[in-house]
């Protein structure tokens, strides 16, 4: 089997890339270990807690014991299914802040500043949020990804946004437009009541066109002739075979599996590869390094009135919601329930937001396993730009072995200071009149948790991953010894091999990572095809008095 391009991973970056290459007339073979995404647990937005906890859809990764979180192992879900993590995620759509991408460009990813990436964010989306106002000049109207907003019928969404305003923060009609900072409606990859994953948006249309085909199998390594990538070795049906690429191989296998595949193929830190008996083709110490993620806590509050989603938290309630969704694709089943959000700065002197809020009108664990003491609501919050860095390493040279994942969460002292501020600023927001009318008491951390030491202990015991791993094949200048890919997405030190997923992020972006991951696939496709959308130099709102005031 051979094609012009062989892509490993049918996820967010890989799907967008495959669609664009096929659209341009190329033959594309996509290797995906996972299977179909057609089950109701994936397609129904409100069922989001299920697929990320199902072995059929998830790789089942977990971190090594985290030394700064009391030795806890944190789960690290990654999609093992058509659509990848876009088929199992929370469907929240956040591009990131303009300054995130300008930072990428400043640190060596030339051509990836905000002006460069904005046209790709626009190309990939069909935006349906204009009824609330918003920034049409910043948004796309004819792309494969449909972006919508929840109906915000529950009064708690409005109360949360108004509490932010009462605390002195601004509001934003479109955090994916000119102004991220402030409180407002949240956007989602949901369309006509269904999860709008990259499988629905990109893969299905590309498969219909006939130029893209998906091969089910486990990618074992990239095959090289000399220093040129010529194919991918896969295991399927008990056999080992090589799928050959006439032009290039592209890895889009996630920030966990992409560095693993690079190392299995001889590209990575030389001494580490030698220790596993792997011949070194290109000694790149940055492969697997620079691992970043967002860590968050759930601040939960008991509700004064029985208006939360807890009333449906029983077999009968879930059955009713499920039945309504199954037959009409409407109702509570058609929303991820993340319909209001906020982005704020933790302190004066911080020029753009570094704390994010996802508001949810029920107090429940992300995995859906436990609802807290009856009617309640919660906000997911944490710092956006942790200075802690981790690493993905090989456990063995066996391609079927799970890699070692060490996030090294909270290893930088600034993380603790930023997290404490997030807790205290959140309490202040929930104490404002619009929200205070709904708060009976704080469930967690709880009113007794006040001192730095008490807050730190709560974080150590309860912080969870927001499931945003990235950075393990960092993009940078070709002469940067720590970079793995150049600004064209090409793996440095070899030929015919690129990366097109969140591995390439030099630094984690503000907010959820699905949108920028898709954008990377869109943009790398153009790098491969030798074309570029012209940059759009549009302003991004920065608080005028950011140096002197926190809000």
Residues involved in catalysis: 468
SS3 389: coil
The Cα–Cα gap between 311 and 323 comes to 16
The Cα–Cα gap between 315 and 56 comes to 24
Question: Is 75 assigned a ligand-binding role in the annotation?
Answer: no
The Cα–Cα gap between 385 and 100 comes to 10
Q: In the numeric block, which tokens belong to residue 322?
A: 């499920």
Question: Is 209 assigned a ligand-binding role in the annotation?
Answer: no
Residue 260 and residue 269 in contact, taking contact as beta carbons nearer than 8 Å: no
Whole-number Cα distances in Å, 338 to 163, 294, 361: 17, 17, 8
Of 236, 325, 196, nearest to 35 by C-alpha is 236
| DSSP letter for each residue of 418-453 | HHHHHHHHHHHHHTSHHHHTTEEEEEETTTT--SHH
Torsion, Cα of 381, 385, 389, 391 (10° steps)? 70
The Cα–Cα gap between 428 and 434 comes to 12
Q: Give the single-character DSSP code of 156.
A: H
Of 59, 84, 9, 96, nearest to 405 by C-alpha is 59
Residue 294 and residue 381 in contact, taking contact as beta carbons nearer than 8 Å: no
Question: Is 496 assigned a ligand-binding role in the annotation?
Answer: no
Question: Is 89 assigned a ligand-binding role in the annotation?
Answer: yes
Residue 389 and residue 289 in contact, taking contact as beta carbons nearer than 8 Å: yes
Q: In the numeric block, which tokens belong to residue 169?
A: 């923060």
The Cα–Cα gap between 391 and 404 comes to 8
Whole-number Cα distances in Å, 28 to 37, 127, 206, 234: 20, 28, 10, 16
Question: Is 423 assigned a ligand-binding role in the annotation?
Answer: no
Residue 78 and residue 502 in contact, taking contact as beta carbons nearer than 8 Å: no
CB atoms closer than 10 angstroms to residue 306: 9
Binding residues for FAD: 81, 89-92
Binding residues: 81, 89-92
């Amino acid at each position: 089997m051979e094609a012009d391009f062989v892509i490993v991973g049918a996820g967010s970056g890989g799907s967008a890339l495959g669609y664009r290459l096929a659209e341009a007339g190329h033959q594309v073979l996509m290797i995906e270990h996972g299977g179909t995404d057609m089950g109701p647990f994936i397609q129904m937005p409100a069922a989001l807690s299920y697929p990320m906890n199902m072995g059929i859809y998830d790789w089942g990764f977990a971190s090594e014991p985290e030394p700064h979180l009391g030795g806890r192992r944190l789960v690290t879900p990654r999609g093992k299914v058509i659509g990848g993590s876009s088929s199992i995620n929370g469907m929240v759509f956040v591009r990131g802040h303009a300054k995130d991408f300008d930072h990428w460009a400043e640190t060596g990813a030339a051509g990836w500043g905000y002006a460069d990436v904005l046209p790709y964010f626009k190309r990939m989306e069909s935006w349906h949020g204009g009824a609330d106002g918003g920034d049409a000049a910043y948004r796309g109207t004819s792309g494969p990804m449909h972006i919508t907003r929840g109906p915000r019928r529950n009064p708690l969404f409005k109360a949360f946004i108004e509490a932010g305003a009462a605390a002195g923060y601004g509001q934003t009609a479109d955090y994916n437009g000119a102004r991220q900072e402030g409180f407002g409606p949240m956007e989602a990859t949901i369309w006509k009541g269904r999860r709008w994953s990259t499988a629905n948006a990109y893969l299905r249309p590309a498969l219909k066109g006939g130029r893209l085909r998906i091969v089910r199998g486990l990618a074992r390594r990239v095959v090289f002739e000399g220093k040129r990538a010529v194919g991918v070795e896969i295991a399927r049906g008990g056999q080992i075979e090589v799928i050959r690429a006439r032009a290039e191989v592209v890895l889009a296998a996630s920030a966990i599996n992409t560095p693993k595949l690079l190392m299995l193929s001889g590209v990575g830190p030389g001494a580490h590869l030698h220790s596993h008996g792997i011949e070194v083709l290109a000694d790149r110490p940055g492969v697997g390094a620079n691992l970043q993620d967002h860590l968050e806590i759930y601040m939960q509050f008991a509700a004064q009135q029985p208006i939360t989603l807890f009333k449906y938290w029983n077999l009968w309630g879930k059955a009713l919601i499920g039945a309504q969704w199954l037959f009409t694709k409407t109702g509570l089943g058609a929303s991820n329930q993340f319909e209001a959000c906020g982005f704020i700065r933790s302190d004066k002197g911080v020029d753009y937001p570094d704390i994010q809020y996802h508001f949810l009108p029920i107090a429940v664990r992300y995995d859906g396993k436990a609802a807290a003491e009856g009617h309640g609501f919660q906000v997911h919050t944490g710092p956006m730009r942790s200075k802690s860095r981790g690493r993905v390493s090989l456990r063995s040279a066996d391609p079927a072995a799970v890699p070692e994942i060490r996030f090294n969460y909270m290893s930088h002292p600034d993380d603790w200071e930023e997290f404490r501020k997030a807790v205290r600023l959140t309490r202040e927001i929930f104490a404002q009149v619009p929200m205070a009318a709904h708060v009976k008491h704080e469930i967690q951390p709880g009113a007794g948790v006040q001192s730095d030491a008490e807050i730190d202990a709560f974080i150590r015991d309860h912080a969870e991953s927001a499931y945003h791993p990235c950075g393990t094949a960092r993009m940078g200048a070709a002469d940067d010894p720590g970079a793995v890919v150049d600004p064209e997405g090409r793996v440095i030190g070899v030929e015919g091999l690129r990366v097109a997923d969140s591995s390439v992020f030099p630094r984690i972006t503000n907010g959820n990572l699905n949108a920028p991951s898709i954008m990377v696939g869109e943009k790398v496709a153009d790098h491969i095809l030798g074309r570029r959308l012209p940059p759009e130099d549009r302003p991004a709102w920065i608080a005028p008095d950011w140096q002197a005031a926190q809000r």
